[in-house]
Amino acid sequence: MQYYSTSNRKLRSGLKEAVIRGLAPDRGLFMPVSVPVINRAMLEGFRGMDLTAIAVQLSQVLFGEDIPANELKKITEEAINFDTPLVVVEKGIYALELFHGPTLAFKDVGARFLARLLGHFTRELNEDIHVLVATSGDTGSAVANGFLDIEGIRVHVLYPSGGVTPLQEKQFTTLGNNITALEVQGSFDDCQRLVKEAFMDEELSNQLTLTSANSINLARFLPQAFYYFRAWAQLERGTKAFFSVPSGNYGNMTAGLVAREMGLPVNTFLSANNINDVVASYLLTGRYNPRPSTPTIANAMDVGDPSNFDRILDLFNHKYEWITEHLHGYSFTDTEIREIMGRVYKESGYLCDPHGATGYQAAKSFREEHPEITGIFLETAHPAKFRESIEEVIGSPVELPERLAAFDRLEKKTIEIGPEYKDLKDYLFSVQA
């Protein structure tokens, strides 16, 4: 399959080049020239399948032209060896629990798939691949653990100092081996900017082979379409549904919209934001005004200039009236998020993390006007990752899963750098030396 740049549709690349490069040469994002559409028989066949089985079939649809079937099946089964159950929270509203993977966050799906796909493409190279990834929360842990000990690949995780929870930080700063954590004295937007500048630096690219594991890499976000199909397949036949998506860098939302293009029978998506609501504001006003991000308790959504919004604009040919036909925006303050978490727990016993809480409330609000449509909100991370915030709200301890407790006992190791590009470039040249 061929992929074009969102900045120039005439600029084309194959899958291997697009995955290894991460970002198109003109700084655009890669998108499929043609999104493959599945037939109704395949769609109906997903009922009763778990996520792994669905992923195997859909990975063949998306990537089967470029990777031998047996190899792709192995990549998919190794990467996606857990499920994403649909849980009733209240009448007409479900939580799609995406935190049952190794790092207890939705990004395990895309990160683990990308790690194995990149490993497949780089086996015959006689040099290390350097993976740069910026994180505002769970991306760092999912990518770091997904790539841990993969031969020939070195991962450099950039994160804002003080901008992730202690448990999230421990999940990628304690691994060592081929994983290095760079603690940036700045915001997530600074981290993302540094990664993008590195890709555009010809002097650096002549010395190092760089790629990205953020959702700017098409092999990170496309596999996330799998669990949208898995969610639909768990509904009763004939149920009309919408998705409410807690959104930061918008890879998750883009994956859902691509799933729709592939044949998922869901037309409505809600963009649930914290106060970093540049997209929610755009959906209301038609004006897109990126701005510096503001820290919140829903830190994975603390993004002021989301990269994947370019992909969403591209999917709808930059037509505002088309976008708003399918997307609706909601935003919530920290005070509101705390109130939502407490109320949902008291009324239903369901414990949302701060991100899932925004998704729940957006779904609740939308259903008040459309009670005939079932809402599915994405619960993107295990609540225990945010136990300090949640325990303050519910007044009781949150049980820490052993997988998280094991990280909590380890020692953090990072390299501190400033927010200037020279700091990152000097570090990368020192690694190469």
For 92-101, write each residue's pLDDT tens digit.
999 999 999 9
Angle among Cα 356, 361, 367 to the nearest 5 degrees reads 125
Beta-carbon contacts of 394 under 8 Å, excluding residues fewer than 6 positions away, are 341, 342, 345, 351
pLDDT-based confidence at residue 57 (cuts at 50, 70, 90):
very high
Instruction: Calculate mean pLDDT across residues 306-312.
Output: 95
Instruction: Calculate mean pLDDT across residues 421-433.
Output: 89
At 128 the pLDDT is 84
As a whole number of angstroms, the distance between CA 304 and CA 259 comes to 25
Assess whether pLDDT exceeds 60 at residue 424: yes
- Which of 333, 389, 327, 330 is CA-nearest to residue 360? 330
Assess whether pLDDT exceeds 90 at residue 262: yes
Residue 414 lies in a domain: no
At 403 the pLDDT is 86
Residue 276 lies in a domain: yes
Lowest mean pLDDT among 102-111, 237-246, 268-277: 102-111
- 423's enclosing H/E stretch is helix 421-432
Residue 187 lies in a domain: no
Residue 6 lies in a domain: no
How many percent of the chain have pLDDT more than 70?
A: 100
- Which of 177, 208, 159, 181 is CA-nearest to residue 425? 208
Residue 157 lies in a domain: no
Residue 254 lies in a domain: yes
pLDDT-based confidence at residue 141 (cuts at 50, 70, 90):
confident
Residue 97 lies in a domain: yes
Assess whether pLDDT exceeds 70 at residue 433: no
Residue 87 lies in a domain: yes
303: domain CATH number is 3.40.50.1100
Instruction: State the residue range of the domain holding 263.
Output: 83-105+221-399
Query: Residue 348 CB: number of other CB atoms within 10 A?
Result: 15
Assess whether pLDDT exceeds 80 at residue 125: no
How many percent of the chain have pLDDT more than 90?
A: 79
DSSP 112-180: HHHHHHHHHHHTT-SS-EEEEEE-SSHHHHHHHHHHTT-TTEEEEEEEETT-S-HHHHHHHHS--TTEE
The count of structural domains within the chain is 1
As a whole number of angstroms, the distance between CA 175 and CA 413 comes to 9
DSSP state of 372: T
Assess whether pLDDT exceeds 90 at residue 22: no
Structure tokens at 86: 């649909």
| Three-state SS letters, the chain | CEEEECCEEEEEEEHHHHHHHCCCCCCCCEEECCCCCCCHHHHHHCCCCCHHHHHHHHHHHHHCCCCCHHHHHHHHHHHCCCCCCEEEEECCEEEEECCCCCCCECHHHHHHHHHHHHHHHHCCCCCCEEEEEECCCHHHHHHHHHHCCCCCEEEEEEEECCCCCHHHHHHHHCCCCCEEEEEECCCHHHHHHHHHHHHCCHHHHCCCEEEECCCCCHHHHHHHHHHHHHHHHCCCCCCCEEEEEECCCCHHHHHHHHHHHHCCCCCCEEEEECCCCHHHHHHHHCCCCCCCCCCCCCHHHCCCCCCCHHHHHHHCCCCHHHHHHHEEEEECCHHHHHHHHHHHHHHHCCCCCHHHHHHHHHHHHHHHHCCCCEEEEEECECHHHHHHHHHHHHCCCCCCCHHHHHHHCCCCCCEEECCCHHHHHHHHHHHHC
